[in-house]
Amino acid sequence: MKTGKGFKAFCALMAILVILSAAMGFVNYFGQKKLLEQSGEADDVNREDGVTIANEYKIESTLKISDAYRNEDTSKLDDREKETLEMAKKVIASEINSDMNAYKKEYAIYKYLTSKMKNDTGLLTVIPNSSADSDNPYGTLKNHTAVCVGYATTFRMFMQMLGIECKVVHSTDLTHTWDLVKLKDEWYHVDCYMDAETGNNRNFNATDEMFAESHEWNRDFFPAANGTEFNPMITGAKEIKDIYAIPGWLKDNIDKETESFSCKFKDGIKEEDERSARYIVETIINSISWDDTNGFYLEYQWVKDSHGDYILCVFRSNNGDDLELSDDEQNAADEAIAEFFPDIQPEDFVDYGDNGDNGGNGGYSCGY
């Protein structure tokens, strides 16, 4: 079948229009992306501060307050910033001493934010929201409750005050934040927000490899975290004979209620042992975690040390925070309940786990 010159010309014109349309689409896409990045609304942005998380919580610089502390000059601070500085100084005075090295100072602030902050909870605690300043150091220190941005910026502020280099990292989908801290020229990940929920050290001074299982971030912009010297799970790993010593090692630490523990193997772990090791670990941990009567669950992770040897890390987390009452308080409460609800038994109320109102979280995003 022959086609006329007019039809061929029409087809050529349509092809040109399709190409031009595609080109304009790319131009429009990159133009919109640039505008979104400038406004802080892109899926990811190449900067640390001025980034909005979950369309509500903004990462703001903390240098003004930390500089005022280090220079002993508050003349450039407003009243709110001065109050933030005074609260931070009280924490440093109670948690930090002159004999500590950079790592010990970092760990002391981490433990303060993940434990003492979380303990101040309850119905009368200010519920995290933007008006309660849960995304900045002022609200975090004043109300003892925060979303992930509050934890991350407060931790960074303390590190800056103590002369330790630190950055706030945001996830590529702009739903979560945490920190990168520099010790002896090597970087480490720290997620106080996640560990405030679990009470263990799983997200403290982790490497990129360890964090990649649960976090996603712009690795082209933020520095690589490959340090292992200051990761307690790696440096504190106990040497056991072989994979068949795992059950006894697990039982010992479970009985001691150890929050986090790790082990390495005397002769390393061979490739042919990997399946058996995984079977032993998962059989025990899954059995314990599925048993609600334990009140806790276990998670594990394989990591590598600086020599490339495998280390087994185990993390213990509570199923929830029980409401602890004295005997007199519980008896009085039970009597009050029984008067109007005689069919209710005290054992019906075993676990009043928090719902995240104290800054905890059930997932790796800035949950509320």
Beta carbons of 195 and 260 less than 8 angstroms apart: no
Mean pLDDT across 266-287: 90
- The domain defined by 51-230 folds into C8orf32 fold (3.10.620)
DSSP code string of 106-137: HHHHHHIIIIIHHHS-STTSPPPSGGGTTTSH
DSSP code string of 196-220: HHH-SSTTEEE-HHHHTTT--B-TT
SS3 226: coil
Position 199 confidence tier, pLDDT thresholds 50, 70, 90: confident
Mean pLDDT across 234-244: 95
Spatial CA neighbour of 270 closest among 243, 302, 251:
243
Phi, psi of 257 (to 5 degrees): 60, 40
Position 151 confidence tier, pLDDT thresholds 50, 70, 90: very high
Those residues whose C-beta lies under 8 Å from the C-beta of residue 280, and which sit 6 or more positions away, are 243, 244, 246, 247
Position 254 confidence tier, pLDDT thresholds 50, 70, 90: very high
Beta carbons of 230 and 206 less than 8 angstroms apart: no
With 80 as the cut, is the pLDDT of residue 19 above it?
no
- Per the DSSP assignment, residues forming a β-bridge with 178 are 169
pLDDT of residue 1: 43
**88-135 confidence digits (pLDDT tens):** 999 999 999 999 999 999 999 999 999 877 533 444 444 555 446 889
What are the structure tokens assigned to 123, written together? Answer: 């119905």
Domain range 233-318, its CATH number among 3.30.110, 1.10.150, 3.30.420, 1.10.1510: 3.30.110
- In the block, which residue shows the tokens 């590190």? 159
With 70 as the cut, is the pLDDT of residue 202 above it?
yes
Beta carbons of 195 and 183 less than 8 angstroms apart: no
pLDDT of residue 294: 77
pLDDT of residue 198: 79
Task: Spell out the long-range contacts of 72-77 with Cβ–Cβ below 8 A and sequence spacing 24 or more.
Answer: none
Check if 51-230 and 233-318 are the same fold.
no
What is the spatial distance between Cα 334 and Cα 239, in angstroms, rounded to a whole number?
Answer: 49
The domains of the chain are located at: 51-230, 233-318
Helix H, strand E, coil C: the string for 24-45 is HHHHHHHHHHHHHHHHCCCCCC
pLDDT of residue 22: 43
pLDDT of residue 366: 60
Helix residue ranges per DSSP H, 40-131? 63-71, 79-95, 102-111, 117-119
What is the spatial distance between Cα 5 and Cα 11, in angstroms, rounded to a whole number?
Answer: 10
Single pTM value for the model = 0.74
**310-353 confidence digits (pLDDT tens):** 999 999 987 655 556 778 888 888 888 888 878 776 655 544 33
pLDDT of residue 130: 46
Phi, psi of 262 (to 5 degrees): -145, 160
**35-62 confidence digits (pLDDT tens):** 344 444 455 789 999 999 999 999 999 9
What is the spatial distance between Cα 258 and Cα 298, in angstroms, rounded to a whole number?
Answer: 11
- Tell me the percentage of the chain whose pLDDT exceeds 70: 76
pLDDT of residue 343: 79
